[in-house]
């Protein structure tokens, strides 16, 4: 059975790249009717952020994703990791290290194996004295560790270039390297899809699988998301990077997921739009990319606009509870995020006064007269008659009207908007503009 997992650390919010990793692991498991596991890797207590695991779970659910097993917390499994660390010690595949942080800070590169030379008597004495220690993996000398990556093919590392990794820290908790191997084995994880920053850790984990006599999972290291320029990793300099931020900015979860599907994978066709169920049906490791994709915010806006326009007016109104439902048909084709609606409809709840120099005040007085004396329900024809009678430029007329009513150049259809807010509100806004001598 295919079993995958998502294993975030509660050190902050979920990055958009981590959301893509979650999506791919979810899709692979569901494609094969397998199981998807959520595991919280919370053993790094120095970087732990209070409440982060709760927000991680909230974000996963907010994107319409779920898990079959878990969440499991590594901090609650310390005794399990200790058991396996003791097994490695007993077989000479790991060793105690009593070196102080000060001594380690003086080392130029990897650990110099000073404590590997300690006798059993010296180790016993130090343990009896209660000296602080860590447990390190004993890396074999002069070997090559090779594994096949489902994205990149065969990858090899010389063991002489690898450090004797800490497996158990001085606080008794495991490092990532031991905990991930033990958990992936005990949870029967068949495929590990993760970011390419973990490639250099893989040979150490492969060695642990060998020491324990376990079969390793299939590894697939996903490329990093680049910023729009394609010259560096996606960073805060280019805008939002966290999954939660995109929802807060008014992006639909299904649009974000659809865009992420195509950042590192393609279906082998020209199809761009996939529901989650459609993606699950066609997802495969064979179509994962080796090249690093650039995150293009404009392309995401394109996807989001498409999904917004697929919503019925009632569905969109539920997503925009702050908006008068009568405006929904007017703005539907004009917004690319939910937050755009707030900007477009600000005039409905506020009187926004534009600079007087942008307005034709004489024209505005004529508009006021129309509102006071003519049939309000027939505004469009009344305005067109006024334009013809006064020989106004149509564009100039409606820009003055738009600025007076909405305070902005970009608005929903102006006449329809005026009919929604009513004659009294329109006259109030125009009078405020005409009376505003300070502008």
The domain spanning residue 58 has which CATH number? 3.40.50.620
Q: Which residues of 229-248 are buried (b: 16+ CB within 10 A; e: fewer)?
A: eeeeebeeeeebbbbbebbe
Q: What is the mean pLDDT of residues 324-344?
A: 97
Separation between Cα atoms, residue 367 and residue 165, nearest integer Å: 78
Confidence of residue 426 (pLDDT cuts 50, 70, 90): very high
344, 363, 396 — which closes off a domain? 344
Domain assignment of residue 55, yes or no: yes
Separation between Cα atoms, residue 252 and residue 307, nearest integer Å: 8
Co-location of 65 and 197 in the same domain: yes
Residue 182 has pLDDT above 90, yes or no: yes
Helix (H), strand (E) at residue 194: strand 191-195
Co-location of 282 and 403 in the same domain: no
What's the half-sphere exposure (Cβ side, CA atoms, 13 Å) at 213? 4
Domain assignment of residue 286, yes or no: yes
Q: Quick one: pLDDT at residue 137? A: 98
Domain assignment of residue 34, yes or no: yes
Q: What is the DSSP letter of 217?
A: P
Separation between Cα atoms, residue 372 and residue 370, nearest integer Å: 5
Condensed to tens digits (0 to 9), the pLDDT of residues 279-318 reads 999 999 999 999 999 999 999 999 999 999 999 999 999 9
Nearest alpha-carbon partner for 242 in 77, 400, 24, 52: 52
Count of other CB atoms within 10 angstroms of residue 110: 13
Residue 34 has pLDDT above 50, yes or no: yes
Residue 439 has pLDDT above 60, yes or no: no
Domain assignment of residue 107, yes or no: no
Co-location of 293 and 337 in the same domain: no
Q: Quick one: pLDDT at residue 237? A: 60
Residue 403 has pLDDT above 70, yes or no: yes
> Mean pLDDT score of the chain, rounded to an integer?
95
Co-location of 318 and 356 in the same domain: no
Co-location of 423 and 363 in the same domain: yes
Separation between Cα atoms, residue 91 and residue 211, nearest integer Å: 9
Domain assignment of residue 171, yes or no: no
Co-location of 198 and 335 in the same domain: no
Catalytic site positions: 236
Separation between Cα atoms, residue 361 and residue 202, nearest integer Å: 72
Range of the domain at 62: 3-72+178-222
Co-location of 182 and 61 in the same domain: yes
Residue 95 has pLDDT above 80, yes or no: yes
Confidence of residue 238 (pLDDT cuts 50, 70, 90): low
Residue 46 has pLDDT above 60, yes or no: yes
Residue 68 has pLDDT above 90, yes or no: yes
Predicted TM-score (pTM) of the model is: 0.92
Domain assignment of residue 156, yes or no: no
Condensed to tens digits (0 to 9), the pLDDT of residues 131-180 reads 999 999 999 999 999 999 999 999 999 999 999 999 999 999 999 999 99
CATH code of the domain in which 384 resides = 1.10.10.350
Separation between Cα atoms, residue 362 and residue 183, nearest integer Å: 76
Domain assignment of residue 139, yes or no: no
Domain assignment of residue 246, yes or no: yes
Condensed to tens digits (0 to 9), the pLDDT of residues 111-130 reads 999 999 999 999 999 999 99
Q: Quick one: pLDDT at residue 363? A: 96
Q: Do 10 and 56 form a contact (C-beta atoms < 8 A)? A: yes
Separation between Cα atoms, residue 199 and residue 255, nearest integer Å: 30
193, 222, 251 — which closes off a domain? 222
Co-location of 286 and 329 in the same domain: no
Q: Quick one: pLDDT at residue 234? A: 78
90 to 28, 83, 108, 216: CA distances (angstroms): 38, 11, 30, 22
Q: Quick one: pLDDT at residue 142? A: 97
Co-location of 257 and 391 in the same domain: no
Co-location of 185 and 65 in the same domain: yes
Determine what percent of the chain is predicted with pLDDT higher than 70. Answer: 98
Q: Which residues of 143-177 are buried (b: 16+ CB within 10 A; e: fewer)?
A: eebebebebeeebebeeeebebbbbbbeeebbbbb
Q: Is the dihedral angle over the CA atoms 172, 176, 177, 183 positive or is it negative?
A: positive
Burial group, residue 24, by CB count within 10 angstroms (0-12, 13-18, 19+):
buried
Co-location of 206 and 336 in the same domain: no
Question: How many structural domains are present in the chain?
Answer: 4
Condensed to tens digits (0 to 9), the pLDDT of residues 200-214 reads 999 999 999 999 999
* Tokens standing for residue 405: 């009513």
Confidence of residue 26 (pLDDT cuts 50, 70, 90): very high
Q: Quick one: pLDDT at residue 236? A: 61
Helix (H), strand (E) at residue 319: helix 313-319
Co-location of 330 and 359 in the same domain: no
Residue 415 has pLDDT above 70, yes or no: yes
């Amino acid at each position: 059975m295919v079993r995958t997992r998502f294993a975030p650390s509660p050190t902050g919010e979920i990055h958009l790249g981590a959301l893509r990793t979650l999506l791919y692991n979810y899709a692979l498991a569901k494609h094969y009717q397998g199981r998807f596991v959520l595991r919280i890797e919370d053993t790094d207590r120095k970087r732990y952020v209070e409440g982060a695991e709760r927000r991680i779970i909230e974000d996963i659910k907010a994107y319409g994703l779920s898990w079959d097993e878990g969440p499991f917390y590594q901090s609650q499994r310390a005794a399990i990791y200790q058991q396996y660390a003791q097994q490695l010690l007993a077989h000479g595949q790991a060793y105690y290290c009593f070196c102080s942080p000060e001594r380690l800070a003086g080392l130029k590169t990897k650990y110099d194996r000073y404590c590997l030379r300690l006798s059993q008597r010296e180790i016993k004495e130090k343990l009896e004295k209660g000296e602080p220690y860590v447990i390190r993996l004993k890396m074999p000398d002069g070997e090559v560790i090779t594994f096949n990556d489902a994205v990149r093919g065969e990858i090899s590392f010389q063991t002489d270039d690898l450090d004797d990794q800490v497996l158990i820290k001085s606080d008794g908790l495991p490092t990532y390297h031991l905990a991930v191997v033990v958990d992936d084995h005990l949870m029967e994880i068949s495929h590990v899809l993760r970011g390419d920053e973990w490639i250099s850790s893989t040979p150490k984990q492969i060695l642990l699988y060998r020491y324990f006599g376990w079969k390793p999972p299939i590894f697939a290291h996903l490329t990093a998301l680049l910023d729009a320029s394609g010259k560096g990793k996606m960073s805060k300099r280019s805008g939002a990077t966290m999954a939660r931020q995109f929802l807060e900015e008014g992006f639909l979860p299904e649009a974000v997921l659809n865009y992420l599907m195509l950042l590192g994978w393609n279906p082998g066709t020209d199809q761009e739009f996939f529901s989650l169920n459609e993606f699950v049906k066609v997802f495969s490791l064979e179509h994962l990319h080796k090249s690093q994709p650039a995150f293009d915010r404009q392309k995401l806006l394109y996807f989001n606009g498409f999904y917004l326009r697929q919503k019925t007016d009632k569905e969109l109104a539920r997503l925009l509870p702050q908006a008068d439902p009568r405006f929904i048909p007017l703005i539907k084709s004009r917004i690319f995020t939910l937050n755009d609606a707030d900007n477009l409809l600000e005039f409905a709840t506020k009187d926004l006064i534009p600079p007087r120099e942008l307005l034709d005040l004489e024209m505005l007085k004529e508009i006021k007269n129309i509102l006071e004396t003519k049939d309000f329900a027939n505004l469009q024809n009344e305005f067109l008659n006024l334009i013809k009678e006064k020989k106004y430029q149509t564009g100039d007329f409606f820009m003055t009207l738009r600025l007076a009513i909405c305070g902005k150049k970009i608005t929903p259809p102006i006449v329809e908007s005026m009919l929604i807010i009513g004659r009294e509100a329109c006259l109030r806004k125009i009078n405020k503009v005409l009376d505003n001598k300070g502008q």
